[in-house]
A and B are shown apart, each in its own frame.
Chain A
Amino acid sequence: DAGVIQSPRHEVTEMGQEVTLRCKPISGHNSLFWYRQTMMRGLELLIYFNNNVPIDDSGMPEDRFSAKMPNASFSTLKIQPSEPRDSAVYFCASSDRDRDHEQYFGPGTRLTVT
């Protein structure tokens, strides 16, 4: 089975532009997580979904960030407008919470906002 798929792998954009990151979880997994990794803050959870429903979005930095999961096989994380401090690696992970709670991570999207 393919692992978690994220696109794009790299994104360079100018401040003020809208950025959309995409994630396809592992087929059959019912939980999806968005994490952000920076040098200053390390790895931190932004939001997670169970059965496509947002459960905990307390890690979303501010209203500029939004996430959706319209179906079990697709999720987006949108930043509008983007700022240089949003530069980071964004990881998507999925798990089967009914089975083993092991979270499998995608390759990440490296975002650079200039």
Chain B
Amino acid sequence: AQKVTQAQTEISVVEKEDVTLDCVYETRDTTYYLFWYKQPPSGELVFLIRRNSFDEQNEISGRYSWNFQKSTSSFNFTITASQVVDSAVYFCALSEVIYNQGGKLIFGQGTELSVKP
């Protein structure tokens, strides 16, 4: 069965600190996608990144970076120099890939990040 675990329920940091959100996944599939979504207090779900299982290169986008390691089944998310606007719940998700069919997302329980000024 597929499963995503975000062990950190809540994290609180002070502005400008770096913070890493952990994500560990389980799947028997050899082909899959991993995602991160942000849910700010307003409630919408904002897509941040998608990574496929064949691409283990780390990715950086501005203050955001992602570390994908298949050996440890982890897909961690780091925010550098955090800002108050980063305060949100962050979800890691796993998607199976079925030929010619969309894949459903299996979400972790989310990590609530609070960035204090």
Q: Which residues of A pack against B, CB within 8 Å?
A: 30-31, 33, 35, 42-45, 48, 50, 55-56, 59, 89, 91, 93, 95, 97, 100-105, 107-108, 110
In the assembly, what is the distance between CA of A63 and CA of B105, in Å?
23
| B105 near A42: Cβ-Cβ < 8 Å | no
Residues of B in contact, count (CB < 8 Å): 23
Q: Which residues of A contact B97 (CB under 8 A)?
A: 101
A-B pair number, CB within 8 angstroms: 63
The answer to whether B95 and A101 have CB atoms under 8 Å apart is yes
Chain B residues whose C-beta falls within 8 Å of the C-beta of A48 in the assembled complex = 102, 104
Residues of B participating in the A interface, judged by any CB pair closer than 8 Å: 33, 35, 37, 43-47, 50, 91, 95, 97, 100-110
Complex: A59 Cα to B50 Cα, angstroms:
23
From DSSP, what is the main secondary structure of chain A's interface residues?
A: strand
Are B104 and A101 interface neighbours, CB within 8 A?
no
Task: Verify B102–A45 contact, CB threshold 8 A.
Answer: no
Asked if A33 contacts B102 (CB within 8 A), the reply is yes
